[in-house]
Amino acid sequence: MEEKQYVIDALSINESWRVFRIMAEFVEGIETLSDVNNAVTIFGSARVKPDDIYYQKTENLTRLLVQNGFSVITGGGGGIMEAANKGAGEAGGKSVGMNIQLPFEQKPNSYANINIHYKYFFIRKVMFVKYAVAYVILPGGFGTMDELFEALTLIQTKKIKSFPLILMGSNYWNGLLDWLKKTMLAEGKISPADLDLIQVVDEPEEVVKLIKKYIII
């Protein structure tokens, strides 16, 4: 019985210390990002290669964003994230990589000039939202969808101030949008105003123009 109680007490202590680790990640993130202003957060697949059209468009996009006074934040990994950090860094802007510790796939790219490493997904997600004036979401997988729908939910429920949610690449996103309209909207699971939160464009210049329409620097 005493041995069992000892194990329970040890687990309780570990849980208590986890709170301090969580606090430390929040503090580090806030301190690191305190000088990052007018940041556009870019999401997309880590599996995209440099010869992919979306990699190249992302590079061009973040160069344009920096030239127009914006900073860039990504998840710090490869693919779209790498392209975004590369374009922003080479344009002389603040290029933030917020890397997450994963057992596979996610490795920090070498182009971010401001780096943060997270253990906890939820802390990184808070930081994405806290410092973004817009989200630009390129073709991606589950993680990309997660960030998109979390932001939609937070804006829809008025837990955060609304900001532009831009899907880049109509060919990729049209199937999802059709399902949202023909299934979710048609069955009354969402309202027409909810769909208005999403905007779809294809070219980097359109993205920058759209963001500048809402964000005055």
Q: What would the two tokens of residue 87 be? A: 């374009």
Quickly tell me which residue has 């939910």 as its tokens. 153
Could you tell me what percent of the chain has a pLDDT over 70?
A: 92
Q: What would the two tokens of residue 81 be? A: 């994230």
Distance CA 136, CA 67 (A): 17
Query: Looking at residue 217, what is its pLDDT?
Result: 73
User: What would the mean pLDDT of 192-211 be, rounded to a whole number?
Assistant: 97
Q: What is the pLDDT of residues 165-191, one digit of tens each?
A: 999 999 999 999 999 999 999 999 999
Distance CA 131, CA 30 (A): 9
User: What would the mean pLDDT of 101-119 be, rounded to a whole number?
Assistant: 85
pLDDT greater than 50 at residue 86: yes
Element (H, E) at 165: strand 165-168
The answer to whether 70 and 211 are in contact (CB under 8 A) is yes
Fold of 37-214: Rossmann fold (3.40.50)
